[in-house]
Structure 1
Amino acid sequence: MNTHPASQAPAPPGAVVAEDVSKVFFSGGDPVWALEDFSLTLEPGSFTCIVGPSGCGKSTFLRILGGLEERTVGTVSMPDEGRKIPAAFVFQEHGVFPWMTVLDNIAFGLRMSGTGAAERTRIARDWLDRVRLTEFADSYPHQLSGGMRQRVAIARAFATGSPVLLMDEPLGALDAQTRMLMQEELISLWESERKTVLMVTHDIDEAIILSDRVIVMSGRPGTLREDITVPFERPRSFDIERSPEFSALRARIWDLLREDARTAEESA
């Protein structure tokens, strides 16, 4: 493993740059390497998805970028690092606060960053309207469907004003129909805001439909397996799933993941 961060050229303003990031955990006193020498640069305003075998460190890497986990080795550069909320998170289980109203949930990140009450209410109401939840402003999460709660979580992340959104399987708990609708909604919001998005998903089709690039990670310790540019122009529709190019790209990514899974079984 490389224990000395590599020198790097200056990144474009607003880019997210991770160089030679490694992370070790200790289980019963023994080191377990979750990530090893993983490097990734995200251009400002890009949408990138990460796929990889279970346990390869995808979520760990997201948490390192967001400051929720300390890296063992390597360097990370985030835009506006002096902000109180340098990156906004959306988790699989939506993470909305059950004791807060929908409006207060969306305004929460703004409150944490010190935005005044009147301004954060104005911004939160604007985002309520954009995710079509205006009439539920005074409702509580338990009164909403799963898809509606996830729209609250996504609106809260966008409302913070953070230039970077980190999403960990944000649509994974939804049924297939709701998931497709949320994919369309997420892309629409991203196209209007052009924030830098890094999203972890286990769904290959979802990764292709949503992203500019698909980052395929190896099995643990996770590192870069392949960096794939998605060839479809924007705006996109689900019609691309019918194309031979889509099928070929899906098969290519699946072959990489299957190869890693077989290697892990053989070495077990």
Structure 2
Amino acid sequence: MDTATPPPATDAQASVVAENVSKVFFSGRDPVWALEDFSLTLEPGSFTCIVGPSGCGKSTFLRILGGLEERTVGKVTTTGIEHPVPAAFIFQEHGVFPWMTVEDNVAFGLRMTGVPARTRRAVARDWLQRVRLDSFAGSYPHQLSGGMRQRVAIARAFATGSPVLLMDEPLGALDAQTRMLMQEELVALWEAERKTVLMVTHDIDEAILLGDRIIVMSGRPGTLREDITVPFDRPRSVDVERTAEFGELRSRIWNLLRDDVRTAEETA
């Protein structure tokens, strides 16, 4: 099957280009290279997943793209302009503020960019309706389930209007059933908005189910091992996991990762 081609870019979409990005940390006097000469281009409106062994620099790269971490070497541009990617983040730990209502959490990013109160309330309520949490607008995070709190975090990211979403294991803390439901909901929102998405995940099945491409990274220092196009049409459901092609792709990715995962576990 042919991969669905992302639609042409609109004003709400962005391309992201990282060229020869490297990152070094210092542990005492010794340099530790987290990333080395890593390049990646994200097409506007695409959904790309990164998989790799623990400690290979996946999350570091995400933080560099979003301006939360300084790169040591290399260049990052968004639609041809060099600056931190204008991105919204979604993390594994949902990061919602416990002292804020659900509505205020969703509106927080808009508040930080100076959007007037009436407008940000309207946008927040719209997104709460889209993630089926409008009846919980006045509730607080402790009153919600884990899946509901993560839907708040997803709504907050989409509500910012940022053309790029950077997601670091956003569903990793959820139970298996809730995770499957959230995968479906996340893809439905993305298909409606077609933002440019880069998602880090340890789950190979999740990467195949969600992504247009899968970037396989090497062990530390992380660099590109293989760039794989996912050969399944959209819309895509969990039924694809029962196909022979899915199993073959899963095995191919695992074979690329196995030795580096074993090394990472032995040196942890």
| DSSP-derived class of the 2:86 partner | coil
Q: Work out the CA distance in 1 between the residues paired with 2:171 and 2:128.
A: 19
Q: Are the structure 2 counterparts of residues 102 and 82 from structure 1 closer, same or farther at C-alpha, using a change threshold of 3 Å?
A: farther
Q: Work out the CA distance in 1 between the residues paired with 2:200 and 2:222.
A: 13
CA contact (8 A) 2:67 2:85 kept: no
Aligned-partner residue type, residue 59 of structure 1: S
By relative contact order (CA 8 Å, sep 6+), the higher-ranking structure is 2
Shift of 1:83: 9.7
Aligned-partner residue type, residue 60 of structure 1: T
The answer to whether 1:94 aligns with 2:89 is no
Superposed CA deviations along residues 146-203 of structure 1, whole A, max 9, x for unmatched, are: 0000000000000000000000000000000000000000000000000000000000
Q: Which residue in the other structure is 1:7 paired with?
A: none
Q: Are the structure 2 counterparts of residues 267 and 59 from structure 1 closer, same or farther at C-alpha, using a change threshold of 3 Å?
A: closer
CA contact (8 A) 1:204 1:253 kept: yes
Aligned-partner residue type, residue 155 of structure 1: A
Superposed CA deviations along residues 225-266 of structure 1, whole A, max 9, x for unmatched, are: 000000000001111001000000000000000032356689
Aligned-partner residue type, residue 193 of structure 1: E
Q: Are the structure 2 counterparts of residues 126 and 235 from structure 1 closer, same or farther at C-alpha, using a change threshold of 3 Å?
A: same
CA contact (8 A) 2:54 2:261 kept: no
Superposed CA deviations along residues 97-148 of structure 1, whole A, max 9, x for unmatched, are: 1110000000000011111111100000000000000110010001000000
Q: Work out the CA distance in 2 between the residues paired with 1:82 and 1:128.
A: 33
Q: Work out the CA distance in 2 between the residues paired with 1:145 and 1:263.
A: 36
User: What are the ranges of 5 or more consecutive residues in structure 1 without an aligned counterpart?
Assistant: 1-11
- Identity across matched positions, percent: 81
**CA RMSD for the aligned pairs?**
2.1
- Deviating above 4 A after TM superposition, structure 1's stretches of 4 or more consecutive aligned residues are 79-85, 262-268
CA contact (8 A) 1:80 1:86 kept: no
Q: Work out the CA distance in 2 between the residues paired with 1:96 and 1:80.
A: 32
Q: Work out the CA distance in 2 between the residues paired with 1:163 and 1:113.
A: 15
Q: Work out the CA distance in 1 between the residues paired with 2:14 and 2:60.
A: 22
- How many matched pairs? 257
CA contact (8 A) 1:23 1:72 kept: yes
CA contact (8 A) 2:65 2:84 kept: no
CA contact (8 A) 2:16 2:85 kept: no
The answer to whether 1:75 aligns with 2:62 is no
Shift of 1:85: 8.2
Q: Which residue in the other structure is 1:145 paired with?
A: 145
Aligned-partner residue type, residue 226 of structure 1: E
Q: Work out the CA distance in 2 between the residues paired with 1:233 and 1:141.
A: 36
| DSSP-derived class of the 2:24 partner | strand
CA contact (8 A) 1:98 1:140 kept: yes
Superposed CA deviations along residues 36-80 of structure 1, whole A, max 9, x for unmatched, are: 000000000000000000000000000000000000000001249
Q: Are the structure 2 counterparts of residues 135 and 23 from structure 1 closer, same or farther at C-alpha, using a change threshold of 3 Å?
A: same
| DSSP-derived class of the 1:99 partner | coil
Shift of 1:29: 1.7
Q: Which residue in the other structure is 2:4 paired with?
A: none
Q: Are the structure 2 counterparts of residues 134 and 203 from structure 1 closer, same or farther at C-alpha, using a change threshold of 3 Å?
A: same
Q: Work out the CA distance in 1 between the residues paired with 2:81 and 2:101.
A: 30
Aligned-partner residue type, residue 147 of structure 1: G
